[in-house]
A and B are shown apart, each in its own frame.
Chain A
Amino acid sequence: MSAEGPAGGPAGELRVPPATRGFTGRRRERTEELPPGQYRTDDFPVLSAGPTPRVDTGEWRFTITTETGSSHHWDWNGLHRLPRTEVVTDLHCVTRWSKFGTRWSGHPLDAFFASVSTSAEHALVTCYGGYTTNLPVADLLGGRAWIATGYDGEPLAPVHGGPARLLVPHLYLWKSAKWVRSLTLSTAEQLGFWEGVGYHAHGDPWREQRYAL
């Protein structure tokens, strides 16, 4: 494979840009684990669209509302009665950093959906603070998504989405909504916050679905 530009451009316009004068780069390590266009960081950068909400666990509720309007609620105690797993995963942010081997503890979404009857294909995630994001229900199931409450052996810090955030690490990190509050399931796709301003509705980092261009 050559290193050409984004696929799918008009025929005849595909061009391999010449090397940038003087640029050598120095990160070649573990590139096989990096999705296209990402670089590795060992920090944990923070990106949020507004102030960090402070959510008391005594007030915390998580709700799933189905396409028929029926609602299922969990409070902090109810959350902790669900199965909990330790998750070690790589994170990929659309702003191009990837962080390898992050350690989380969380409750698989499958456990929540076990009591929910739905055939909806789309989910809109809503958060304390008003942030929203959308993703297919299928991406929330199959042991690939969690409500995470712990990071690196500690309770999840507010700046990283505590007390509880969605964790969907096989999609770009903006889908892993911080301060998660509810899922609204529906038969029609409704775009979330970033998706509504030009970011991709699905956001698979391995297919480099950054923007809805």
Chain B
Amino acid sequence: MVQVRPESDTARTLVLEVPDWPGHLAGQHLDVRLTAPDGYRAVRSYSLASAATGPGPARVEVGVQELGEGEVSPFLVHEVRPGDVLEVTGPLGGWFVWRPGDPGPVQLVGGGSGVVPLVSVVRTHAAAGSPVPLRLLLSARTPATAMHLPELLRRGADQPGFSFEAVWTRQAPEGDRRPPARLDAARLARAVLPAEQGPTCYVCGPTAFVETVADLLLAAGHRAGRIRTERFGAAR
């Protein structure tokens, strides 16, 4: 572990230096394995935020959001520090991925810490100089809890082909005239690439969020086969 970046009171980006990284695609994750003194081990998956990379020594970033009852995430958010050695396996996941050569425009929709693998897509898009139109719609509680927000705002202004919009569900930033609100059909329709352009949609976030957004995208005419989802957390 070479660097720890606070993203909010309950989330962190961990920067790991991996001597023999096999390379990864945007959207993939890795497993972190922790070992207690008595040999007890716990393994959890975290999404990679760094741009896609080839094999070789690499610095990779993962995003960790603390879960209240979690066993591992509180340790990674509050305890771990630069210089610590973590055991990782990866990259993992071969479906929720984007390659710069993939045809057609891309719509990303992230809820809360579900933005992390989407940040990897945005960075990969920039690094590749991809001409593909790329949009990110983020839903988060408040600007103070949104991961990677300054970078996304900057890239939304500067990165060719990329645009960024945020929906705040609890508290909007000062000067924003729109009251905090959940994503609904009207807001989604204004923010995302139209279905006629046939974007591939990547939706990541808590289960209820992904269910809502995927249903809204279908209702807006997006084809089920073009909607890729990654959910975390429970449903009744």
Least distance between A111 CB and chain B CB atoms (Å): 29
Contact across chains for A23 and B224 when beta carbons are under 8 A apart: no
Contact across chains for B231 and A46 when beta carbons are under 8 A apart: yes
What 1/0 mask marks residues of chain A from 11 to 28 whose CB sits below 8 Å from any chain B CB? Answer: 000000111111111111
Contact across chains for B235 and A159 when beta carbons are under 8 A apart: yes
Of B36-44, B99-107, B181-189, the one with at least 4 CB within 8 A of chain A = B36-44
Is B174's beta carbon under 8 Å from chain A? Answer: no
Contact across chains for B71 and A49 when beta carbons are under 8 A apart: no
Contact across chains for B218 and A25 when beta carbons are under 8 A apart: no
Contact across chains for A44 and B236 when beta carbons are under 8 A apart: yes
Of A50-58, A116-124, A139-147, A182-190, the one with at least 4 CB within 8 A of chain B = A50-58
Question: What chain A residues lie within 8 Å of B75 (beta carbons)?
Answer: 22-23
Question: What chain B residues lie within 8 Å of A70 (beta carbons)?
Answer: none
Contact across chains for B94 and A43 when beta carbons are under 8 A apart: no
Using C-beta atoms within 8 Å of the partner chain, give the interface range for chain B.
Answer: 35 or more
Which parts of A33-83 form the interface with B (CB within 8 Å)?
37, 39, 41, 43-53
Specify the main secondary structure of chain B where it touches its partner: mixed
Number of interface residues of A (CB under 8 A): 40
Least distance between B37 CB and chain A CB atoms (Å): 5
Contact across chains for B43 and A17 when beta carbons are under 8 A apart: no
Contact across chains for A20 and B35 when beta carbons are under 8 A apart: yes
Known: A17-B35, A23-B35, A39-B71. A197 touches B95 (CB 8 A): yes
Contact across chains for A50 and B228 when beta carbons are under 8 A apart: yes
Which residue on A lies nearest to B216, using beta carbons? A51
Is B80's beta carbon under 8 Å from chain A? Answer: yes
**A-B residue pairs in contact (CB < 8 Å), sample of 18:** A17-B33, A19-B36, A20-B35, A20-B85, A20-B86, A22-B79, A22-B80, A23-B42, A23-B75, A25-B36, A25-B40, A39-B71, A46-B231, A46-B233, A50-B225, A51-B229, A157-B235, A197-B95
A: residues with CB less than 8 A from B are 2-3, 17-28, 37, 39, 41, 43-53, 95-96, 129-130, 157, 159-160, 193-194, 197-198, 211
Of all A-B residue pairs in the complex, the 10 with the closest CB atoms, nearest first, are A197-B94, A43-B234, A51-B214, A3-B39, A20-B34, A25-B36, A46-B207, A23-B34, A19-B37, A46-B235
